[in-house]
């Protein structure tokens, strides 16, 4: 009997040890997951000054600045762009992740403004002229867009625009946001989504697989729980949920060679469900990548070729830590001296944007 009790006691101790080890492993995995998530997504982003766009770069483009609160009381900076009169609607523009605020999308705002639309573009939390020590996480994009649309619809400053239909335009992070937010704003008439993804955790998973392969899946439950804790309803909102909750027309553009948001995380999911639905328009490109999916690459390729030749002339190792600041200054000086701003500000694929415009125009009523 004593031997049986000893065996039972030994098994109990072993079981407790296994449980403790497992708990410690899960705790370590959870802490690591949160650290990696914050290290990638909870940063502040500023536009790169040498490549910034300015209102003066675009003929007759006008803008008015506004400040409005987002979900946690942080103040965001937005701009209403216009050019001429007789606007047909308002396009709310959601920018991508990591390059600063809406600045690099000013050419998009200019195109739509010159073709009969107001454009309300804003800097998301933790970007450029908006408050926030960091973005916080990808669901913040939906929260900020929700706040921006509500501001446009309800603020007295926009009372003269109340009868105009609302449209959305988003790229990458913004593409995910303009689709997902539809469940909170089903009144939106139409959406153009470029290179977006379905769920907030998709980008973390896609990039993580490049680093740790299937090991990323051990982190995903903690990432999802962390986002739910921080963002509540916005964390679980998906593009597919937005489509289901809205009658908005949707145009989806994605390139098969996108290595930032691989096409299976966005376009392929949407296409499988809605390819035969008349309110959806799908444009699948093959070699447009991610960042310049809607651009004419002619000038970018020319400039990059010249830049690479210049780098070959450097008499120091620009990758060495002791030379990083020197290279940063030299690079900025090169761009300031050689960038053709007239061409830099006019790189949109006009044929593609013409298709976007016709899409919006067809859904005004």
77, 84 Cβ separation under 8 angstroms: no
> How high does pLDDT run on average in the chain?
89
Radius of gyration of the chain (CA): 24
- How far is Cα 113 from Cα 107, in angstroms, rounded to an integer? 10
Mean per-residue pLDDT, 304-314: 95
Domain coordinates in residue numbering, the chain:
51-199+238-294+350-361, 298-346
Contacts of 259 by beta carbon, 8 Å cutoff, 6+ apart: 289, 290
CATH homologous superfamily for 51-199+238-294+350-361? Alpha/Beta hydrolase fold, catalytic domain (3.40.50.1820)
- How far is Cα 88 from Cα 360, in angstroms, rounded to an integer? 10
pLDDT, residue 206, reads 75
pLDDT, residue 211, reads 64
Give the pLDDT band (50/70/90) at residue 41. confident
- pLDDT tens by residue, 81-134: 999 888 999 999 999 999 999 999 999 999 999 999 999 999 999 999 999 999
**CB-hemisphere CA count at 13 Å for 175?**
26
- pLDDT tens by residue, 294-307: 999 999 999 999 99
Mean per-residue pLDDT, 27-47: 70
Give the pLDDT band (50/70/90) at residue 13. low
Q: What is the largest CA-CA distance in the chain?
A: 95
pLDDT, residue 24, reads 45
- pLDDT tens by residue, 46-76: 999 999 999 999 999 999 999 999 999 999 9
pLDDT, residue 25, reads 44
- pLDDT tens by residue, 252-294: 999 999 999 999 999 999 999 999 999 999 999 999 999 999 9
Give the pLDDT band (50/70/90) at residue 16. low
152, 163 Cβ separation under 8 angstroms: no
């Amino acid at each position: 009997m004593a031997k049986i009790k000893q065996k039972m006691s030994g098994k109990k101790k072993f079981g407790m040890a296994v449980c403790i080890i497992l708990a410690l492993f899960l705790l370590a995995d959870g802490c690591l997951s949160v650290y990696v998530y914050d290290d990638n997504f909870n940063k502040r982003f500023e536009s790169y000054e040498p490549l910034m766009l300015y209102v003066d770069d675009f003929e007759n483009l006008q803008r008015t600045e506004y400040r409005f609160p987002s979900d946690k009381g942080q103040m965001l900076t937005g701009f209403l762009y216009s050019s001429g009169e007789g606007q047909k609607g308002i396009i709310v523009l959601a920018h991508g992740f990591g390059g600063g605020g809406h600045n690099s999308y000013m050419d998009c705002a200019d195109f739509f403004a010159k073709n009969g639309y107001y454009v309300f573009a804003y800097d998301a939390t933790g970007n450029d002229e908006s408050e926030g020590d960091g973005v916080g996480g990808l669901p913040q994009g939906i929260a900020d867009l929700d706040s921006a649309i509500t501001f446009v619809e309800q603020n007295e400053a926009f009372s003269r625009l109340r009868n105009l239909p609302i449209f959305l335009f988003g790229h990458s992070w913004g593409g995910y946001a303009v689709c997902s937010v539809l469940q909170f704003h089903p009144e939106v008439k139409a959406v153009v989504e470029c290179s977006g993804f379905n769920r907030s955790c998709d980008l973390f998973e896609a990039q993580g697989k490049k680093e740790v392969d299937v090991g990323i899946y051990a982190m995903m439950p903690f990432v999802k729980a962390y986002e739910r804790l921080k963002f509540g309803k916005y964390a679980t909102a998906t593009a597919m949920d937005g489509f289901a909750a809205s009658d908005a027309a949707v145009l989806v553009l994605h390139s098969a060679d996108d290595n930032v948001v691989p096409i299976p995380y966005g376009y392929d999911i949407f296409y499988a469900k809605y390819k035969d639905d008349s309110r959806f328009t799908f444009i699948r490109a093959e070699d447009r990548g991610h960042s310049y999916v809607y651009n004419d690459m002619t000038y970018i390729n020319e400039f990059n070729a010249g830049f690479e030749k210049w780098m070959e002339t450097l008499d120091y190792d620009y990758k060495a830590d002791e030379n990083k600041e020197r290279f940063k200054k030299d690079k900025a000086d090169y761009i300031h001296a050689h960038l053709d701003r007239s061409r830099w500000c006019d790189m949109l694929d006009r044929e593609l944007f013409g298709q976007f415009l016709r899409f919006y125009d067809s859904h005004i009523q």
